């Protein structure tokens, strides 16, 4: 255990031990996204109390717990990740039925948002078992809190969490087209090996503000708000900027930025690159509200330009 966390573990026992922690319950626990000091006192106590610790990566979580001075025997660990969640959920349910307190953590942040855990929670709920959330670190909420993404005037409030965009080209183009028409704030997540690609793709949003939140809570944290068209240039200024995990906040459209002819054509171009003409026209009409007949004629013209 790091000496700096010895008092934290003692404080966790003092602050949280008197609370009720029912047996046979699944505890969904948020863990730090970079800074170990972001663990909560209640999380420390429940991690220590757990009969079984299910986690996305046992090696990663073992290192995390050692830093806090918490140790579990080999039989108390279960690996539960995106590739085995459905099957391993049944092993978790069996332990819950025995009256165990089972804790689930992902590698970082709040489970079951973009990380594994949602299928496990759904299985526990369907079995009539209790699920108890322990809130904590979240890259989504952290990025939103420092983005200053304010909906102007009577623009739509709230935000949309889109997570990671699809990797398949056609699905990704469709997702980007929907994003371009979404008037509310949109939060995306992206890995370092694809950040340059998404920066290029976001350029189609023009002057719409985007906040790039890189390596949140870590030593080299960097947060910048700039026009979507400038994201690629910002990344290119320093090679270091293309490293690390990103949370991306696409700010809301101005209330006068309703879908227009230019936006409709950009959406149509994106979809035509990957989809048949009629499908691209139908989706563009649904996304933008533009007339199908008008879009069909424009699609024919665009295809004709491509054949010149």
Q: Could you name the CATH architecture of 140-250?
A: 2-Layer Sandwich (3.30)
Identical topology for domains 3-137 and 140-250: no
Q: Residue 104 forms beta bridges with which residues?
A: 28, 54
In this structure, is the dihedral angle defined by the CA atoms of residues 147, 194, 233 and 220, taken in order, positive or negative?
Answer: positive
DSSP 149: -
- Contact at 8 Å (CB) between 66 and 5? no
Q: What is the pTM of this model?
A: 0.80
Cα–Cα distance measured from residue 17 to residue 45, given in angstroms and rounded to the nearest whole number: 7
pLDDT at 143: 97
Cα–Cα distance measured from residue 78 to residue 63, given in angstroms and rounded to the nearest whole number: 15
Q: Could you name the CATH architecture of 3-137?
A: 3-Layer(aba) Sandwich (3.40)
In this structure, is the dihedral angle defined by the CA atoms of residues 179, 248, 187 and 28, taken in order, positive or negative?
Answer: positive
**Domains of the chain by residue range:** 3-137, 140-250, 261-307
Chunk the chain into consecutive blocks of 10 residues (it has 308) and report each block's average pLDDT, rounded to whole numbers: 79 94 98 96 97 97 95 96 95 98 97 95 97 97 95 76 93 89 93 95 92 96 95 94 95 62 79 89 84 85 71
Residue 78 tokens, joined: 């279960």
Residue 294 tokens, joined: 């008008």
Torsion of CA 28, 33, 35, 36, to 10 degrees: 30
Strand, helix or coil for residue 73: coil
Cα–Cα distance measured from residue 95 to residue 201, given in angstroms and rounded to the nearest whole number: 46
Q: Residue 79 forms beta bridges with which residues?
A: 55
DSSP assignment of 101-118 equals -EEEE-SSB-TTSSSS-H
Cα–Cα distance measured from residue 148 to residue 156, given in angstroms and rounded to the nearest whole number: 15
């Amino acid at each position: 255990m790091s000496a700096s966390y010895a008092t934290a573990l003692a404080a966790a026992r003092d602050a949280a031990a008197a609370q009720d922690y029912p047996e046979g319950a699944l505890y969904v626990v948020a863990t730090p996204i970079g800074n170990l000091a972001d663990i909560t006192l209640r999380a420390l106590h429940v991690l220590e109390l757990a009969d079984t610790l299910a986690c996305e990566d046992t090696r990663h979580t073992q290192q995390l717990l050692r830093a806090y001075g918490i140790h579990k025997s080999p039989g108390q660990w279960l690996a539960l990740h995106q590739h085995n969640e459905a099957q391993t959920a049944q092993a978790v349910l069996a332990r819950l039925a025995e009256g165990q307190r089972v804790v689930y953590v992902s590698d970082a942040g709040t489970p079951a948002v973009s990380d594994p855990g949602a299928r496990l929670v759904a299985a526990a709920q369907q079995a009539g078992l209790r699920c108890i959330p322990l809130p904590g670190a979240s890259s989504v909420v952290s990025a939103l809190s420092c983005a200053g993404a304010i909906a102007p005037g009577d623009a739509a409030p709230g935000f949309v969490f889109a997570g990671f965009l699809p990797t398949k080209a056609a699905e990704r183009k469709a997702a980007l087209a929907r994003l371009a028409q979404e008037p509310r704030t949109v939060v995306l997540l992206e890995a370092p090996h694809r950040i340059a690609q998404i920066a290029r793709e976001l350029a189609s949003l023009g002057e719409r503000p985007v906040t790039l939140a890189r390596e949140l809570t870590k030593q080299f944290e960097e947060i910048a708000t700039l026009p979507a068209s400038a994201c690629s240039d910002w990344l290119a200024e320093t090679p270091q900027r293309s490293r690390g995990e990103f949370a991306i906040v696409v700010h809301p459209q101005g209330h006068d930025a309703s879908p227009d002819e230019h936006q409709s054509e950009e959406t149509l171009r994106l979809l035509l690159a990957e989809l048949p003409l009629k499908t691209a026209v139908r989706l563009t009409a649904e996304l933008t509200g533009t007339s199908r007949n008008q879009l069909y004629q424009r699609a024919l013209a665009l295809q004709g330009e491509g054949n010149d």
